[in-house]
Amino acid sequence: MKQLALPGTLLAGLFCGLGFLGCGKPPVLPAPDAAPAVSISQVIGRQVTDSVDFTGRVDAVNYVDIKARVTGYITSTKFKEGDLVKQGALLFEIDQRPFKSKLDDVQSQLVLQKAKYKLAKADNLRAKEVGKTPGAISVQELDKYQAAEEEAEAAVKAVKAGNEIHELNLEFCKVIAPIDGKISRYYFTLGNLVNADQTLLTTLVSQDPIYVYFDADERTLLRVKRMVQDGNLSFSGNHPDLTFLVSLQDENDFRHIARVNFINNKIDPLTGTITIRGEIENPPIGATGRLFVPGMFCRVRLPLGSPRPVTLVAEKAIGTDQGNKFVYVVGDDNKAISRRVTLGATQPDGLRVVETGLKAGEKVVVTGIQMVRQGEPVTPVEVAMPTIGPAILPTPQPGTKPVSGTPAPPAGTDKK
């Protein structure tokens, strides 16, 4: 049987392809991983005050529904809508003629009854003089004269009482502002019929000072009570000597200070919150305008305790491993070491308080944390600690005037 002869070059290629012969260049092995490039930042150290944030609402100290106290037709409107009015200012006039005629009638009756009383008193006096003579007048007649005098006196008092009522009704025809404040629009205009104690003519609200209300949770209430219990918070009257900070919708900082003057007497079982109220100044900002308007919503920050030194890092520097929080600390040898940390409150600029595990000035990985391996070298590029939002203005402390325009560390918000 003949054997098939193959060319030598073909056999060599076949053996090389099958890997049985060590011909050609050796296979290229992968190079070891290069140190990953990461961004690192220095841990920040500064003073913060623990605090809790709530949503507040602005309300007037005095709010009055102006209603008619007599029934009649409006004959005059004396104020300009939306204007500031003083206590005692005339707002509306109601037709006085029916009440004036009733008052005149009662006053005439009063004159008549006074005359009758004068006559009855004189008759009784003469009868008593005659009665001094024995047998001149009977005891029954003396009693009749005495009763007539007392009846006439009672009639005078009754007419006087009716006279006072009609005088009040005539006075109520002029609707007077009971407080200083800003008035609303005309709900009823000239010529309309209004009913006593029913028809709402307008509203009047006080302007300065003004109240800010918010609903605090039970945990915050207990923290305040513990501060009182530990002697860290004094009492002023029947409530803690406590202040809170207020920020309006277009403000990035908390520049307004309110002092607590009321804490409700029970916790709402449906919401688990208690209502707290503070008083805040509301000075004029123009001819008639003021910054706070009743009905506004605002942000409320309730500081708890005194400022304390803490360390802060960006949220992106924090990793999670089975529920534990950690950061990668980079030393002088450029090796990343994992370190477990305990976190606190998040600040308005996005930085997170680190209660334990870090010191100010240490460097942590803030970008590329997913490429870092424990104990492995990295290629660091140092950058400023990243923050979010606009520059944070300083938080005013109780007893100081607010300062604006100078960036400074903000107060913290308590983690809920």
Cα separations (Å) of 175 from 33, 84, 100, 416? 88, 16, 16, 51
CATH number (domain holding residue 92): 2.40.50.100
Q: Do 171 and 68 share a domain, yes or no?
A: yes
Considering the entire predicted model, what is its pTM? Answer: 0.67
Domain that holds residue 284: 53-61+207-303
Q: Do 228 and 197 share a domain, yes or no?
A: no
Query: Is residue 115 assigned to a domain?
Result: yes
Written as one letter, the residue type at 58 is V
Query: Is residue 21 assigned to a domain?
Result: no
**Consecutive 10-residue runs of the chain (416 residues): their mean pLDDT?**
47 46 52 77 88 92 93 92 91 92 84 85 81 77 84 85 85 93 92 92 93 93 85 71 88 88 91 93 81 92 85 91 91 91 84 90 90 90 79 43 36 40
Q: Do 336 and 282 share a domain, yes or no?
A: no
Q: Do 244 and 352 share a domain, yes or no?
A: no
- The three-class DSSP label of residue 33 is coil
Among 184, 205, 226, the domain-final residue is: 205
Tokens standing for residue 334: 């450029």
- The answer to whether the bond into 303 is cis (omega within 30° of 0) is no
Query: Is residue 20 assigned to a domain?
Result: no
Contact 91, 79 (CB under 8 A): yes
Among 260, 281, 303, the domain-final residue is: 303
Q: Do 231 and 172 share a domain, yes or no?
A: no
Query: Is residue 16 assigned to a domain?
Result: no
Provide the b/e sequence for 321-344 (b: ≥16 CB within 10 Å).
Answer: eeeebbbbbbeeeebbeeeebebb
pLDDT at 404: 34
pLDDT at 129: 79
Query: Is residue 8 assigned to a domain?
Result: no
Query: Is residue 225 assigned to a domain?
Result: yes
Q: Do 155 and 278 share a domain, yes or no?
A: no
Q: Do 255 and 223 share a domain, yes or no?
A: yes
Count of domains observed in the chain: 3
pLDDT at 32: 53
Among 303, 318, 351, the domain-final residue is: 303
Nearest to 347 by CA among 402, 387, 307: 387
CATH number (domain holding residue 354): 2.40.420.20
Nearest to 348 by CA among 277, 255, 263, 252: 252
Query: Is residue 12 assigned to a domain?
Result: no
Query: Is residue 393 assigned to a domain?
Result: yes
Q: Do 412 and 359 share a domain, yes or no?
A: yes
Q: Do 334 and 416 share a domain, yes or no?
A: yes
Q: Do 86 and 169 share a domain, yes or no?
A: yes
Q: Do 71 and 137 share a domain, yes or no?
A: yes
Q: Do 224 and 290 share a domain, yes or no?
A: yes
CATH number (domain holding residue 296): 2.40.30.170
pLDDT at 72: 93
66: part of which helix (H) or strand (E)? Answer: strand 63-67
